[in-house]
């Protein structure tokens, strides 16, 4: 009976994830999955011989209070860090459950060998997910520097730690040595930090996706350890979700996962190598931009990370409304890695009440850019860099871009001419049809809207 209830919960997760995949059903999908979760918890409380109600109740009360408060108050711009932190909490919870299971016996050998193996797996993956997510959180929140951290002897440190982890795993399983289990958990905590610290802030969409996948794997591992299929199914679903998003994010940057994890992309050396150009740019005033947009038939807005940093999504919406009132067709072309996590830019624009069907993806955007009068690039750089398409020697060659340069005119709002995080110069900025306006995105857009009302 209990097992059937867990199966029902697992089915609810599957249905929920399926419905999360379509805009019309997404909200109900989330509800279905949460009902499945509630069912699983209630069944556990009934079926297990719970005696320490106080402990369970206190833990749940604290957790629920924190969860409600956090979910209600978090700013949409901070969503990537929240998801990163939640990944970490899921991971650490799985590791702790595995640890608790281990500590119920005096020696690990009292458990079946398979249980020892799955406990070890869950301890390691959960711990690594925890600290990796904390570092990702720190980078996204700005507590830890977003720059990729590289240091001398990094390779030596990494290989030493990896070998130590392997040795401990063997010792734990071959000799049933309890301290080796705990030591491996400890070293996994260290590996999580070492793994994410060297990764640049702009690669965070990949990292958050990967940690999401790992938190699922940790849950599935714990499911094996305690013999609960609901955890196995739920964990497997999350593991595959995270995996697909990881692959899609890597594709969107035309880089392999290995390159993202170990490439330290955008580190100081590469930036120094790329960022030199003495070409002239055409500078624009807000009035120039307002006039060119006011008489356009179609304007495509290409938002980038700079827009999110400036929290300018509401200003953009005002500008778009002003244009729409003048009969200009406005759409938003969104690159898959435009924000700091997959789909982040869409959430920010949705928050500003941008209608969902005005958000178009890369392929649709490129199909229509040739018949676009003005492409307005807001705080984006690498994702509109024509070098990725034309210059086989460019470090970002092959990365899918939004082809802003196909539009009849381009306006780029950027704080300065500094290169993007890839450290590559952008020929789009020096194009004859490009107007540059150097300003904070939020200020710039407000000025343009103001100027537009006067045209």
Residues numbered 232 to 271 that lie near other proteins (CB under 8 A) are: 232-245
Closer to other proteins by CB, 35 or 261: give it.
35
∠ CA(235), CA(237), CA(240), 5° rounding? 105
Residue 75 binds to other proteins (criterion: CB under 8 A): no
Residue 112 binds to other proteins (criterion: CB under 8 A): yes
Residue 187 binds to other proteins (criterion: CB under 8 A): no
Select from 229, 254, 259, 311 the one that contacts other proteins (CB under 8 A).
229
Range in contact with other proteins (rule: CB under 8 A) among 158-166, 211-219, 297-305, 417-425: 211-219
In the complex, what is the shortest distance from the CB of residue 63 to other proteins, in angstroms, rounded to a whole number? Answer: 3
Number of amino acids touching other proteins (CB under 8 A) = 118
Residue 186 binds to other proteins (criterion: CB under 8 A): no
Q: Burial-class residue 397 by CB neighbours within 10 Å (0-12, 13-18, 19+).
A: middle
Considering only residues 86 through 105, tell me which ones interact with other proteins, judged by CB under 8 A: 86-87, 89-90, 92-94, 96-97, 99-101, 103-104
Q: Are 300 and 372 in contact (CB under 8 A)?
A: yes
In the complex, what is the shortest distance from the CB of residue 205 to other proteins, in angstroms, rounded to a whole number? Answer: 9
Instruction: Write b or e for each residue in 316-326: b if 16 or more Cβ atoms lie within 10 A of its Cβ, otherwise e.
Output: bbbbbebbeee
Three-state DSSP at 394 gives coil
Sign of CA dihedral 380, 386, 389, 391: negative
Range in contact with other proteins (rule: CB under 8 A) among 32-40, 291-299, 371-379, 386-394: 32-40
The 10 Å Cβ neighbour count of residue 426 is 26
Provide the 8-state DSSP code for 48: S
Three-state DSSP at 455 gives coil
Residue 51 binds to other proteins (criterion: CB under 8 A): yes
Q: Which string of x and - marks every residue 300-339 that binds other proteins (by CB under 8 A)?
A: ---------------------x--xx--------x-x--x
Range in contact with other proteins (rule: CB under 8 A) among 70-78, 140-148, 379-387, 392-400: 70-78
Residue 8 binds to other proteins (criterion: CB under 8 A): no
Residue 179 binds to other proteins (criterion: CB under 8 A): no
Both tokens of 257, joined, read: 């996962």
Please give the positions annotated as active site.
382
Three-state DSSP at 193 gives helix
Closer to other proteins by CB, 119 or 409: give it.
119
In the complex, what is the shortest distance from the CB of residue 441 to other proteins, in angstroms, rounded to a whole number? Answer: 20
Q: How far from 388 is each of 267, 394, 425, CA to CA, in Å?
A: 19, 7, 11
Angle between helices 178-196 and 79-103 (to 10 degrees): 170
d(CA 135, CA 195): 9
Considering only residues 338 through 377, tell me which ones interact with other proteins, judged by CB under 8 A: 339, 341-344, 346-347, 350-351, 353-359, 361
d(CA 361, CA 141): 27
- Catalogue the E-assigned strands of 116-271: none
Select from 191, 202, 230, 407 the one that contacts other proteins (CB under 8 A).
230
């Amino acid at each position: 009976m209990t097992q059937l209830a867990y199966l029902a919960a697992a089915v609810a997760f599957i249905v929920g994830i399926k419905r999360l995949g379509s805009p019309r059903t997404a909200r109900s999908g989330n509800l279905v999955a949460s009902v499945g979760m509630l069912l699983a918890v209630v069944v556990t409380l009934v079926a297990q011989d719970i005696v320490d109600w106080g402990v369970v109740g206190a833990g749940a009360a604290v957790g629920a209070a924190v969860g409600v408060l956090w979910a209600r108050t978090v700013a949409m711009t901070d969503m990537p860090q929240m998801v990163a932190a939640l990944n970490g909490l899921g991971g650490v919870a799985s590791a702790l459950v595995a640890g608790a299971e281990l500590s119920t016996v005096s020696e690990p050998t009292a458990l079946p060998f398979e249980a020892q193996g799955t406990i070890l797996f869950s301890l390691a993956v959960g711990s690594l997910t925890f600290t990796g997510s904390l570092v990702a959180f720190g980078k996204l929140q700005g507590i830890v520097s977003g720059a990729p951290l590289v240091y001398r002897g990094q390779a030596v440190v990494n290989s030493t730690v990896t070998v130590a982890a392997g040795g401990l795993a063997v010792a734990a399983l071959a000799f049933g040595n309890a301290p080796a289990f705990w030591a491996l958990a400890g070293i996994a905590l260290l590996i999580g930090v070492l793994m994410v610290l060297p990764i640049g802030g702009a690669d965070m969409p990949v990292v958050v996706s990967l940690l999401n996948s790992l938190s699922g794997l940790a849950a599935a591992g714990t499911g094996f350890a305690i013999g609960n299929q609901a955890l196995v199914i739920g964990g497997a679903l999350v593991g595959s979700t995270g995996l697909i998003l990881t692959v899609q994010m890597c594709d969107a940057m035309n880089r392999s996962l290995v390159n993202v994890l170990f490439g330290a992309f955008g580190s100081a050396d590469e930036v120094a190598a790329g960022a030199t150009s003495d070409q002239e740019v055409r500078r624009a005033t807000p009035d120039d931009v307002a006039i060119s947009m006011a008489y356009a038939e179609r304007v495509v807005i290409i938002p980038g990370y700079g827009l999110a940093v400036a929290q300018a999504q509401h200003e953009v919406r005002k500008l778009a409304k002003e244009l729409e009132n003048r009969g200009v067709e406005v759409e938003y072309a969104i690159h898959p890695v435009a924000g700091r996590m997959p789909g982040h830019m869409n959430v920010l624009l949705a928050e500003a009440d941008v209608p969902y069907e005005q958000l178009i993806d890369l392929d649709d955007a490129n199909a229509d850019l040739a018949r676009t009068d003005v492409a307005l690039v807001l705080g984006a750089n690498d994702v509109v860099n024509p070098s990725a398409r034309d210059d086989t020697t460019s470090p970002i060659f092959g990365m899918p871009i939004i082809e802003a340069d196909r539009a009849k005119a381009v306006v780029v709002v950027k704080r300065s001419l500094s290169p993007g995080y890839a450290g590559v110069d952008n020929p789009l900025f020096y194009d004859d049809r490009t107007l540059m306006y150097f300003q904070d995105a939020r200020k710039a857009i407000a000025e343009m809207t103001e100027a537009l009302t006067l045209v």
